[in-house]
Chain A
Amino acid sequence: AAGVIQSPRHLIKEKRETATLKCYPIPRHDTVYWYQQGPGQDPQFLISFYEKMQSDKGSIPDRFSAQQFSDYHSELNMSSLELGDSALYFCASSLALETGGRETQYFGPGTRLLVL
């Protein structure tokens, strides 16, 4: 079965540079979520999109932005990178259900970002 695809899998950037992470959800999934996981930490929710509209916002820095496109893939844009942005970035997708809260999120393998 098709899974969530993230690219690139690894990324090395310098401080103050920009980075773009891509996420391709499972076919027919309409909701995408982004998470950040620092070293030794638990995943932290950043932002989510449903049908190309932002549906929820977590602890996403103002330097980051994201969007979901018409083909449902999503991109996380990160500017003015800081050393503390070094982390694993996971994307997850789900299919929205009438009864909210039941959706199962399927996670991608993550993008490992290293900021030097």
Chain B
Amino acid sequence: DAKTTQPNSMESNEEEPVHLPCNHSTISGTDYIHWYRQLPSQGPEYVIHGLTSNVNNRMASLAIAEDRKSSTLILHRATLRDAAVYYCILNNNDMRFGAGTRLTVKP
């Protein structure tokens, strides 16, 4: 199974951009890159996904490296409500959560 590597934790100040990195050097050509987040005491929540091109939605942006071996989730202006564990997951008909990044947002 293709695996992902993320930093254990990151900190950000409120209203500032946050760049959450993910390495997936063994990604296959058909693996989609998904990002989910889990707020405290809640189920995981879909954030964004992409295959090759960068993607934007109302929650975040996803920047995918040209060789697809890494990607970055971008929160343009972090809010206190963005404090969560962020998971980068490779999905090709199945999904496995690895150890995500715990994002702390400071006021």
Contacts and interface: CB of A to CB of B under 8 A. Distances in A.
B42 A109 contact: yes
Dominant SS among interface residues on chain B: loop
Interface of B: 30-32, 34, 36, 38, 42-46, 49, 51, 85, 87, 91-100
Given A100-B92, A101-B92, A106-B46, 7 more contacts: A33-B95, A43-B44, A48-B94, A102-B32, A102-B91, A109-B42, A109-B43
A30 B94 CA distance: 15
A43 B97 contact: yes
A24 interface: no
A101 B91 contact: yes
Residue among B43, B46, B49, B100 having the largest count of chain A Cβ atoms under 10 Å = B43
Interface residues of A, number: 23
Given A42-B99, A42-B100, A102-B49, A90 B93 contact: no
B94 A107 contact: no
Given A42-B100, A101-B31, A90 B94 contact: no
30 contacts: A42-B85, A42-B87, A42-B98, A42-B99, A48-B94, A55-B93, A56-B93, A56-B94, A58-B96, A90-B43, A92-B43, A92-B44, A100-B30, A100-B92, A100-B93, A101-B30, A101-B31, A101-B32, A101-B91, A102-B51, A103-B91, A104-B46, A104-B49, A105-B36, A105-B44, A107-B43, A108-B43, A109-B42, A109-B43, A110-B42
A35 B100 CA distance: 16
Contacts of A45: 94-97
A110 B43 contact: yes
Contacts of B34: 104
A55 B93 CA distance: 9
A64 B95 CA distance: 20
Contacts of A44: 97
Contacts of B98: 42
